[in-house]
Amino acid sequence: MLPFSPLPLAFRGLTYAVTLPTGEVRTLLRGISGFARPGRMLALMGASGAGKTTLLDVLGGRKNSGIAGGAIALNGFPKDARTFNRVAAYVEQNDLHMPLQTVREALEFSAALRLPGSVPPTTRAAFVVEVMAQMELTHLADAKVGDPGEKDSLSPGERKRLTIGVELAANAPVLFLDEPTSGLDARAAAVVMRVIRNVASTGRTVICTVHQPSAELFYFFDDLLLLQRGGWQVFFGPLGRRAGKLVEYLRSLPHCPPYPEGFNPASWMLDVLAGTNSSGGGGGAAPTPAPPGEGLQAAYFASPEWAAAEKALDASMTPAPGAAPLAFPSPYASHAPAQFVALLRRSHLTWARNIPMNLGRIAAITFLMVLYGIIYLKIADSAGDYQGVRTLVAAIFMYVST
């Protein structure tokens, strides 16, 4: 319903460091380079503490502390924080929604705030319907979100798809997702990955962190950026059919354990980085010691795989002929009156639908009014002196404040 311009995202030599309370400077990312292309899904993977979410936050502009270095280019031009939020959407790991809103209202609220004011209301409504269909939520359009775990509320997988839909309602060509399958069962995770695959198929650039997925989910991705603990880059490039290119590269590393045929390549990949053996094979051989991250990064940057990726990276960091940097008249898509109306409408619906709270407030106010009436009964009889006037003013204050 709404057109958009596909935008590739490229980054070179990204570093990120934070200062601890003790004064020590800890480096979390060490010279990470790569790119994400429209229509493809890039996975950021690695063991816990490797810097996956940190890298995603740096790319998405979510870090407001620490020291970041390196270059990030959007469509070949240096990333500009003033325009980046208009073309990027970030899906948090936690699904936070108003429990009394319906699925349709949550998407309409996001669209009202994040689509340009030039979009007619009929087009915006049709776009929301399209997003619901893409997220496979059409049959839940009028269902309330509810609180997690409550009866008749959305399931965890449905909440995650709604979270993605809320960000997709901005019609952003670049989509960041932080652990979209975390906490989901196998079926719900497969549905979430399927809708993300559908989003990428529309021409959007999708960058996603994921931790040790099943082989079925791992094969959804097109490209992989693999990190070793400490923020070292181990691999970047296309996965190939059934992750064949990744397996081929890791096999070329010295001291790499054999790859068991039919084993999940995502699990084997983490075994290579951690020096463990979770396949149960190997004839009882001792696990291969975990290689240092610095050596793995140096080996990758000296490999033919990086030489091929660097050529594509150079092209992604260079603007196309005739292209112009992004420019918007305002950092906000909608103007202030439209934002006020959308927030007022959502607040009104939330208060109107909270029946228990409204009944409780009515009962409390009725009780207090009766109590104050008894306390200040016949107050007018004593209003002729100073003390009576003070009592009358106190009564007025109590009534108004209640």
Q: Where are the domains of the chain?
A: 9-321+332-341, 354-401
Q: Which residues fall within 8 angstroms of residue 5, CB to CB, at 6 or more apart?
A: 75, 173
pLDDT at 284: 45
pLDDT at 382: 66
pLDDT band at 22 (very low <50, low <70, confident <90, very high): confident
pLDDT at 201: 92
pLDDT at 387: 76
CA distance readout (Å), 265 to 68, 244, 246, 258, 381: 32, 9, 8, 12, 88
Report how far residue 21's alpha carbon sits from residue 8's, in angstroms, rounded to the nearest whole number: 37
The yes-or-no verdict on residue 8 having pLDDT over 90 is yes
101: nearest Cα among 345, 360, 333: 345
Residue 108 backbone phi and psi in degrees, to 5: -65, -35
DSSP string of 171-184, one letter each residue:
--SEEEEESTTTT-
Give the highest mean pLDDT range of 43-52, 189-198, 393-402.
189-198
| CATH T-level fold of 9-321+332-341 | Rossmann fold (3.40.50)
The yes-or-no verdict on residue 287 having pLDDT over 60 is no
pLDDT digits over 326-361, tens only? 888 888 888 888 889 999 999 888 888 888 888 998
pLDDT band at 95 (very low <50, low <70, confident <90, very high): confident
pLDDT band at 391 (very low <50, low <70, confident <90, very high): confident
pTM confidence score: 0.87
CA atoms within 13 A on the CB side of 311: 4
pLDDT at 283: 44
The DSSP 8-state label assigned to residue 245 in this structure reads H
